[in-house]
Structure 1
């Protein structure tokens, strides 16, 4: 399928209040596009986060993909709130294709992006929804409020959440 289909006009909106999200727990279903990329070889060990961009495509960082690429090493977990909790609305799927930006050189450098094609397109729900992507002509004024989501560390050198 096409990674960017005009038919995919539905997307998730964060269920945010006026609170500051920096480093605090989120609500279940608050960020429905957030996915967890897991290492299937290491017993479902967390590798990286990603964003659902359509029913069958996830965007993640290129440095999260190990070379040589072995599709069977990866699973994508959708609809998760906590990394260590598989709930009734968690969907786990295999990866059928990985496209790493050919301009990617190293972590933190330009082009650190990859696309994962899900083996089975997901059905949208309250907990699984694609991220809203701006058009290529959209500009954001200085001071526009933004969010960063993921399962990071709470302190320098801390364990991943």
Structure 2
């Protein structure tokens, strides 16, 4: 039943640099991962009915795109996995007007993951 509502979507990230972290130090790897981000401006909100977050408030948040269109958000739970809601990757009963009551799984190749929209280097030290 919980699989119906939550899904761990695996994504392969094409990084410009190799992330090296001390053994057992996830926070060092996470900081290295976000250090390369550059803020991009978007014309629409990324979270439906959401509020604007403070810069650096949710560094593990990712934006998921189907092709070129923003679809959903998710949480980075390690360097290769994103936790998101099932409706982000399966169309069907939860979105009947989009797929005429057919369950359609969205191919992982069509899902693009964006993270690091803000650079942690631009934040005050205490936020990091």
TM-score category by the smaller chain?
Answer: 0.3 to 0.5
Higher relative contact order (CA 8 A, sep 6+): 2
Higher helix fraction (1 or 2): 2
